[in-house]
Amino acid sequence: MIRLEDLSHLQLDALKEVGNIGAGHAATALSQILLEKVDMTVPHVSIMPLSQVDQVMGGPEQVVSGIFMRVFGNAPGKIVFLFAEDEAVSLADSVIRSNLGAQTDCDFRESALKEIANIMTGAYLYALTRLTGFNLLPSVPALANDMAGAIINTALLDLGAVGDYALLIQTQFSLISRKINGHFFLVPDPDSLELILNALGVGTGWKK
């Protein structure tokens, strides 16, 4: 069984390409919602121990917005999104103003962030489906605002994460007036990673 921590550069590049294709689809969908041009890139893909995930956000006590979902289908797994609290508020408010023109509140922001997660997850899974032929469906997103350490522990516990590593697909949103960084974590179920890599044509010769 292939493990995340054993991936070669070639395999990481293949997963990054999936992320870039998904980011392109997500940017198009977000542009329609925000009524402005959105560029989305995947500048970095890496493997990270689950115990260090909260360090990406500045430490376990850093307050963040976290969204987590299950992935069902031929290659099941878990997805966790993390945004710095101020960037999550900024992105959600942009969605709300573009669609409602109303004063924002917590309920609207929560709905907006969940919709963004749906768009991004859908775009990523669409890209993966097109490249692998798999049938993949996301669950309804769950959102929490808390310290990064608490969110990660709760998300991974609730999602029944198996293994010690996660695949980090860093995502950068470039809007007209600002840039927003999001962190997209994929935690494949046992055997799912090997199925994905084999379908992408990089499942052999994987050892570093």
| Structural domains of the chain, ranges and CATH numbers in brackets | 4-200 (3.40.1550.10)
Question: pLDDT per position in the chain (208 positions), as tens?
Answer: 667 778 888 888 888 888 888 888 888 888 888 888 888 888 778 888 877 888 888 888 999 998 888 899 999 988 888 888 888 888 888 888 766 555 556 778 888 888 888 888 888 899 889 999 999 999 999 888 899 888 877 776 665 555 567 788 888 888 877 788 888 888 788 788 889 989 999 886 444 4
Question: Rounded to whole angstroms, how far apart are CA atoms 76 and 192?
Answer: 6
Centroid of chain to Cα 158:
17
Please check whether residue 78 is in contact with residue 128, taking contact to mean a CB–CB distance below 8 angstroms: no
Cβ burial 76-111 (10 Å sphere, 16+ → b, else e): bbbbbbbbbeebbbbbbebbbbeeeeeebeeebbbe
Predicted local confidence at residue 157, as pLDDT: 64
Tokens at 112, concatenated: 């907006």
